Amino acid sequence: MLTRYIKVNSLNLEPEKIEETAKILKEGGLVAFPTETVYGLGADAFNPQAVRNIFKAKGRPQDNPLIIHIWSNEQLDKLVKNIPQKAHVLMNNFWPGPLTVVLPKKEGVMSEATSGLDTVGVRMPDHPVALKLFQRSGVAVAAPSANISGKPSPTGGLHVLKDLAGKIDVVLDGGSAKVGVESTVVDCTGEIPVILRPGGVTKEEMEEVVGEVLLDPALHRKTFKPKSPGMKYSHYAPDGIMYLVVGKSIKSLAEKLADISMKRYQAGYKVALLAFEDTLALIGEKPYIKLSLGSRDNLSITAAKIYGLLRQCDRLKIDFIIAEGCPRKGMGLAVMNRLEKASGGKIIRLQD
């Protein structure tokens, strides 16, 4: 299959390009599109063959449900049975935006998209190209992130092309994704909302508008069966072996990170150290590659660059990635979740 690569200006939205792509989507094609979080790989959510093709193109396990993307609240009627009060509040406050709300699904929503669950995750992304594309296609759009299953998510059109060229119909490139990590997935089927996957809307921001919000225990304890099926698979993994180092003291972190990196480097491996600016400053000049996670005081910027950095390590054919962790507060929760997954759980915890 020949994949068309179409660049589109997010400001004037170049209607002919959107129209052409919307038609492909409507007719059952696979279209990668930009969102504010990461790029999505979309298909008509009510076309079973098109949805099956998404799983095939990504190599995605069948039991991992897709998020259904909408451009208008009116579409909810066809997708969900009822909307509890707290779900309403969350949608009103954070849509369009990086929040996926899991609700009881309506009969008629295909099990191909929801992997047989009786719930469905719905999201209205905050990106003019995505919203216009959906609206012009007239369909609800089932879409996972547009990467090969298990690899770091795509935050630019060229990331998608690298993973999926030849496997999908179109890549609509609308520039780089500004949030950089996926949406927060929140289960609203119970009394208290439960975060199944931390993401672009923080727990703290949600608590300000709905009161108590819980974290799925699977997010901190490996022994629990996660409720979000996608959370059990290996994810966001770079080609190299990755270690995540966590601790409180920046001095101890710097020493440990530098020590591990140097040992691997001296053993002849290609090493990349991923750390915050102040840590890198303490470590100073080194012969291996050093990449900045930005300032630990602005983890939104870290989130925006994290997948790009992991992909950069792949391009540089890095054997070992040694990464610094951060506190799980605000955006730190989503950043740490991605780093932990990317490292495959190889975490070194410092005592002080």
Interface ranges with ligand TXA (CB under 6 A): 35, 37-38, 40, 64-67, 98, 100, 102, 114, 117, 119-121, 123, 125, 143-145, 182-183, 185, 196-197, 228-231
Q: Taking CB within 5 to 8 Å according to partner kind, which of Mg ion, ligand TXA, none is near residue 119?
A: ligand TXA
With CB under 5 to 8 Å by kind, the binding choice for 67 among ligand TXA, Mg ion, none is ligand TXA
Between CA 335 and CA 269, with CA 278 as vertex, the angle to 5 degrees is 75
Nearest distance from residue 110's CB to ligand TXA, in Å? 13
Cα 278 from chain centroid?
27
Q: 347 and 340 in contact (C-beta within 8 Å)?
A: yes
180 binds, among ligand TXA, Mg ion, none (CB under 5 to 8 A by kind): none
Residue of closest CB approach to ligand TXA: 230
Regarding 37 and contact with Mg ion (CB under 5 A), the answer is no
The answer to whether 184 contacts Mg ion (rule: CB under 5 A) is no
| Binding partner selected for residue 197 from Mg ion, ligand TXA, none, CB under the kind-specific 5 to 8 Å limit | ligand TXA
Contact 334, 303 (CB under 8 A): yes
117 binds, among Mg ion, ligand TXA, none (CB under 5 to 8 A by kind): ligand TXA
Q: What does 124 bind: ligand TXA, Mg ion, none (CB cut-off 5 to 8 Å by kind)? A: none
Min separation Cβ 80 and ligand TXA, Å:
11
Residues across the chain = 352
How many helices (H) and strands (E) in the chain? Answer: 12, 16
**Nearer to ligand TXA among residue 164 and residue 272 (C-beta):** 164
The item of Mg ion, ligand TXA, none sharing an interface with residue 290, based on CB under 5 to 8 Å by kind, is none
Do residues 170 and 80 lie in contact, with contact meaning Cβ atoms separated by under 8 Å? Answer: no
DSSP 8-state class, residue 3:
P
Q: Please, which residue, 97 or 144, has the CB nearer to Mg ion?
A: 144
Q: Residue 113: what residue type?
A: A
- Pair type for strands 99-104 and 119-123: antiparallel
The answer to whether 155 contacts Mg ion (rule: CB under 5 A) is no
Minimum distance of Mg ion from residue 317's CB (angstroms): 24
- State the binding partner of 174 from ligand TXA, Mg ion, none, CB within 5 to 8 A by kind: none
| Contact criterion met (CB below 8 Å) for 60 and 153 | no
Closest approach of Mg ion to the CB of residue 250, in Å: 32
Would you say 3 or 252 has its CB closer to ligand TXA?
3
Least spacing, CB of residue 211 vs ligand TXA, in Å: 22
Instruction: For ligand TXA, give the closer residue by CB, 145 or 261.
Output: 145
CA dihedral 264, 180, 305, 233 (to 10 degrees): 0
Q: What is the DSSP string of 147-209?
A: S-TTSPPPSSHHHHHHHHTTTSSEEEE----SS-SPPEEEE-SSSS-EEEE--SS-HHHHHHH
Q: Alpha-carbon distance 352 to 343, whole Å?
A: 22
Looking at beta carbons only, is 190 or 345 nearer to Mg ion? 345
Which of 47, 145, 302, 343 binds Mg ion (CB under 5 A)? It is 145
> By CB under 5 A, is residue 337 in contact with Mg ion?
no
Question: Could you tell me the CA-to-CA distances from 240 to 15, 124, 287, 306 in Å, in that order?
Answer: 41, 34, 18, 15
Interacting residues with Mg ion (CB under 5 A): 145
